[in-house]
Amino acid sequence: MTKILKEALGVPENILKSGVKLHQDILKKLSYETNNYFDEDTEFQISFKTDLMINDLNIKTVNVKIELNFVDTDKIVLGSMGYAPRYTHNIKRFMSVSLQKFSELYMSISLYVPENKEISMSDIIKFLKDETKVIIPSLSHELKHAYDQSKQPEKPLSNTAEYAATTNFKAFAIQPLKIFFHYIYLTTLTETLVKPTEVASRMELSGVNKTQFLEFLLNDRTFQEFMSLKNYSFEYLVSELKKDIKTIKSRLVGSDIKVPRKTDDVIKLILELAYVNLVNQKGDLLKHLILSAEKNLFARFMEDLGGFDSESDKGRYFYKKMESFAKYKNNPIDFYKDQIKMFNFVGNKMSKKIGKLYEMAQDPKEEYSNIIKKIYIKSNSNGQRT
Amino acid sequence: MDKEPEIKTEWMIDPIINPKDNWELYKLLIEKEDVKINTDYNVSIK
């Protein structure tokens, strides 16, 4: 398949091979530490030299932070992975500016592990090997974030605040509300750029050919999520919230907020309050980003304490962005309705885009000829492994 | 005293478990302060 076609599908050249190599590198590095045991929440870092190519990007050093969270589970589970671009903030332009050291990758792997049990490094290695088909696509996902960052090394501070606030918003631990905010995360440009690579990685690891593609696609979790987005509606959100009305009421009571008598009013209130709290979270993060760029420690302290002078450049920027974050202040319900329109649009677009990965699936004839080639190599290898 | 701009590493975390399929596990990592609801905007917005 041509490089140009793979790029058009959103899968940079060599990224899938690099995901596999990164997995092997991590296992190799961890295998030197097999005498380690853990029995409480821990994080540790491994660093190693490597040679990962992603199109024209060459990653030569990798730093992986591994987090172990001891929780009530009976087996090890992959909770999340993360990527950390390193940058400074240009306060004159209110931009995050990458340090241009794209040859060095910082990432994280967060695992849930069973509490009341000692976990050995060998247990972690075994998990990372057994779950190859989950781990490698996720590593490829993080590599694609790194690749995208190298192509767009600057971004506005407000975008960083908005992405981080939405992704981290816990939605008061109300499940249907959290699913809604999870869907916002899925529809960000940052995520839609990496999803085809993640799916292509799963496809390649499973050796899916063109005749198997449809079955693979219909069972793929990312494809299923985008199909859910395509069909999501405001009425569905409300009906799901109604099913969880007890939790919603207990959250309101827990925060000393008077609970309305009618269910519809309770739903309306929790949606409005979630919007207020999301705006606050965006504002807090933006403030933190602007403050962290201030060189003068005294000025930083004063602004942290008293807020920005509304006549200063920082103040003008901050309050203008706050107005933008809170543009649905007078009708927060419209925020949800507009987001859902976006879900439907992105769900439709991304399910089609992922469907186009069919072009990358092996042709059964090609697969057959590859099998013949492998048999030929094996039978002519004088007993050596191929 | 002036200080050089900090090198920031803002983590972009991608949840693998999701709140739809793995809620029991997902909510284990939600802290008490995450369920506290504020009723007002932190800053005055025009």
A316-338 pLDDT, tens digit each: 999 999 999 999 999 999 999 99
Tokens matching residue A284? 């807090």
Q: Between vectors from CA A108 to CA A68 and to CA A178, what angle results, nearest 5°?
A: 80
Q: How far is A352 from chain B (nearest CA, A)?
A: 22
d(CA A138, CA A266): 38
Give me the pLDDT at residue A384, please. Answer: 40
Regarding predicted confidence, which is higher, A73 or A101?
Answer: A73
pTM score of the predicted model:
0.89
Tell whether A317 is within 8 A of chain B (Cβ).
no
* pLDDT confidence tier of residue A366, bands split at 50, 70 and 90: low
- Checking if the pLDDT of A4 tops 80, the result is no
Across the interface, whether the CB atoms of B37 and A323 are under 8 A apart is answered no
Q: Which residue of B has its CA nearest to A324?
A: B45
**pLDDT (0 to 100) of residue B12:** 86
pLDDT at residue number A372: 52
Region A339-355 average pLDDT: 97
- The tokens for A279 are 């705006």
* Residue A108: closest CA among A67, A147, A79: A67
Predicted ipTM beyond 0.90: no
Q: Is the pLDDT of residue A83 over 80?
A: yes
Residues of A in contact with B42 (CB under 8 A): 280, 283-284
SS3 A13: coil
The pLDDT tens digits for A253-275 are 999 999 999 999 999 999 999 99
Q: Do A295 and B3 touch (CB under 8 A)?
A: yes
What band does A356 get if pLDDT is binned at 50, 70 and 90? very high
pLDDT at residue B4, rounded to an integer: 55
**Three-class SS state of A340:** helix
Q: Is B12 in contact with A279 (Cβ distance < 8 A)?
A: no
Measure A355 CA to nearest chain B CA, in Å. 21
Residue A277 has pLDDT above 90, yes or no: yes
pLDDT lower than 50: segments of chain B = 1-2
Q: What is the mean pLDDT of chain A?
A: 90
Contacts of A243-251 with C-beta under 8 Å, sequence gap 24+, read: A243/A176, A244/A174, A244/A175, A244/A176, A247/A173, A247/A174, A247/A175, A248/A174, A251/A172, A251/A173, A251/A174, A251/B35, A251/B37
